[in-house]
Amino acid sequence: MSKLTGQERITACFAQAQEQGHKAFIPFITCGDPDLTTTRNLVNVMVANGATMIELGIPFSDPTAEGPVIMAASERALAGGVTTDKIFDLVVTLRQDDHITVPLVFMTYANVVYSYGTERFMARCAQVGIDGMILPDVPFEEKEEFEVPAHKQGLALISMIAPTSHERIAKIAQSAHGFIYVVSSLGVTGTRTKFSSDLASVVATIKQYTKLPCAIGFGISTPEQATAMGKLAEGAIVGSAIVKLIAAHKQAAPEVVGPYVKSMVEALQI
């Protein structure tokens, strides 16, 4: 692990992807679905096939931003006995035993952090090698109680901007760290065939207020969609399409997720 902060490592990985000839590809998986051993294998195979950064979902019983695919994955993981501490232990294994060096970002909900203890959660993140987090249920106006302890540990609290953010885009972009998560369309996560027609203008507006990279997520599932998003932003985020593969193939999922990630990375050679 470098001596850069988590915030700096996240931002730097987008430039590194560009140096390697592609835009950033950021896959999401739910930790513990179907089990933590498979999660470990998935992270390794996704990195081996070119993933720039990994979003690790900490399961929550009421994931309000998630569609049915990721919600079901959370339910399976929780039923299997996954806990936040077990996920922290997994990150230690990924960093120390598997030598995973790409940025790792948690995606979870405010209640998960609260219940663990916000200061304790952030300190543990920094200790094990997490670089930042995404908390989709925390409004911009209420982020300070998470952002202050996160920044104290060098972690990035990733900001989300949607086509409906309008006049709030400037404020959100100006105070963002790591990268900007651009939400492709309204509603919850899930694969889609249509995206907001305003994405280009949303990204252009963001760029007026920050030099941070943008990555577009929510609904991307095909190489063609990844290429289209890569032309608008510095990266693409894919969750539900990968979680579907995991649901279908279970412990054998790494065998199909690896080639899928490779195809998406190749599609982002723009």
**Residues whose CB falls within 8 Å of the CB of residue 270, separated by 6 or more in sequence, listed in order:** 22, 23, 227, 230, 231
pLDDT at 163: 85
Average per-residue pLDDT in the chain? 93
pLDDT at 51: 98
What would the pLDDT profile of 187-201 be if each residue is shown by its tens digit?
545 444 455 568 999
**Residue 70 reports pLDDT greater than 70:** yes
Domains of the chain: 22-261 (3.20.20.70)
User: Tokens standing for 136?
Assistant: 């989709």
Segment among 40-44, 61-65, 161-165, 237-241 with least mean pLDDT:
61-65
Rounded mean pLDDT of 52-71? 87
pLDDT at 111: 95
What would the pLDDT profile of 73-108 be if each residue is shown by its tens digit?
999 999 999 999 999 999 999 999 999 999 999 999
End-to-end CA separation in angstroms for the chain: 29
pLDDT at 2: 57
Nearest CA to 49 out of 241, 256, 221, 270 is that of 256
pTM comes to: 0.94
What type of residue is 114? Answer: Y
How far apart (Å, rounded) are the C-alpha atoms in residues 112 and 68? Answer: 20
Is residue 230 within 8 A of residue 270, CB to CB? The reply is: yes
Segment among 1-5, 42-46, 145-149, 218-222 with least mean pLDDT:
1-5
How far apart (Å, rounded) are the C-alpha atoms in residues 84 and 90? Answer: 10
Sign of CA dihedral 252, 258, 264, 266: negative
